[in-house]
Structure 1
Amino acid sequence: MFINPLKRAAAKKRILQLLDSREEGNFKGDVNSIGVIIDDKNLNALEELRTLKKSLGIPDDKFTVVIFSAKRKTGKDFDMLDYCLNDIDLKAGIKKPELEKFAVGGVDLLITFAAESNTPVHLLTAYCHAGFKVGRYRQNIPLYDLVIGTEEPSIFKEELLKYLKRIKRT
């Protein structure tokens, strides 16, 4: 479709604007809320990422998962937010109120576990207010405070927990 390339171009431009206005956080290592943004190609990692909730002692209401798919899927899991290209307007704004609330509400730790070139996911990541943002690819390093370059969810989780312990000690 013709609209999708326009939305992607606007999203890339908006990401750059959001990165320019990004404030450096004063993350102290205390994690009381977690947001996970994942795409449908990496759903196999979701269960491993959910174990972070238990590892860090996060209550269910402070753990939010957003799943991106190219087209809205039916039969979604009700404890997750769904996100698709239709939730982005032509000026790269977030149209869906639940996603806007998630992005503006902020979390202590935001994890993005998605494909390297997933522009809509990177747009939501850039919009989100978070104390500490973690991703997987060096290409997207301006979006994150920490990049853990692995495809394996269990290694990603282990490394993330190590870094969080180091941050908390210092």
Structure 2
Amino acid sequence: MILKGFKEKSNKKYINKCTASRVVKPTNAIIKTIGVVVDGQQFSDLEWINRLAESLNVNLNNLKILSLFNTKKEEVSVYTNTFSEKDLGWKGQLKSQTAKDFVDTKFDLLINLYQSDALALQVVSAATQAQFKVGLYDANQDLNDLIIETKLDDKALFKTELIKYLNILNKLSNE
């Protein structure tokens, strides 16, 4: 039990280190690649994510989704790339190759679609190299460049607000 607390503290230090050392360079680069971090227990609408990417004029081949899914025997995830809390080691180390590959990918946009305080989701969000990070109001606000004040189940509002702000920031192509 004590080791679990130390492990949690080391991961929180890692998150703080990542957020403090992150340098945001303002660019007018158009979004071509999107990464989505989602809690599979809270959000399971894969089609909505695909439609969101299409609305942002991003090819579905340039969309990667990583889901936190703490499996139970009778449950199956709708997402193909999953990891669990057990895949989180000390100091932000990820044991899952799927999560490592996701973190190593450079994205133009990272969308954090979770409201929980799951440490594994926060570590992945902090470690992912993305030019621009968007998240929900209830999540850890230090991880995101843009915070949309909505609930996870209000998908239509999230989509319209995201498109509105990305247009203002000249991040979307007009094709």
Give the CA deviation at 1:63: 0.4
Q: Residue 111 of structure 2 corresponds to which residue in structure 1?
A: 111
Distance 1:109 1:130, change over 3 A: same
In the alignment, the residues of structure 2 paired with residue 71 and residue 5 of structure 1 have an alpha-carbon distance, to the nearest angstrom, of 23
Give the CA deviation at 1:72: 7.0
In the alignment, the residues of structure 2 paired with residue 27 and residue 81 of structure 1 have an alpha-carbon distance, to the nearest angstrom, of 30
In the alignment, the residues of structure 1 paired with residue 72 and residue 9 of structure 2 have an alpha-carbon distance, to the nearest angstrom, of 21
- 2:114 matches 1:99: no
**1:45, 1:153 within 8 Å by CA — same for their partners in 2?**
no
**1:36, 1:64 within 8 Å by CA — same for their partners in 2?**
yes
Provide the aligned length of Structure 1 versus Structure 2.
168
| Structure-2-length-normalised TM-score | 0.83
In the alignment, the residues of structure 1 paired with residue 69 and residue 3 of structure 2 have an alpha-carbon distance, to the nearest angstrom, of 16
**2:69, 2:77 within 8 Å by CA — same for their partners in 1?**
no
In the alignment, the residues of structure 2 paired with residue 162 and residue 49 of structure 1 have an alpha-carbon distance, to the nearest angstrom, of 17
Give the CA deviation at 1:24: 1.1
In the alignment, the residues of structure 2 paired with residue 157 and residue 106 of structure 1 have an alpha-carbon distance, to the nearest angstrom, of 22
Distance 1:8 1:85, change over 3 A: same
Distance 1:123 1:101, change over 3 A: same
Give the CA deviation at 1:59: 1.7
Quote the RMSD (CA, aligned, Å).
2.4
Which amino acid in 2 is paired with 1:106? K
Runs (4 or more) in structure 1 with deviation over 3 Å come to 1-7, 44-47, 70-77
**1:41, 1:114 within 8 Å by CA — same for their partners in 2?**
no
Q: Residue 168 of structure 2 corresponds to which residue in structure 1?
A: 166
Structure with greater helix percent: 1
**1:42, 1:113 within 8 Å by CA — same for their partners in 2?**
no
In the alignment, the residues of structure 2 paired with residue 27 and residue 48 of structure 1 have an alpha-carbon distance, to the nearest angstrom, of 28
**1:72, 1:83 within 8 Å by CA — same for their partners in 2?**
no
Q: State percent identity of aligned pairs.
A: 27
| Structure-1-length-normalised TM-score | 0.85
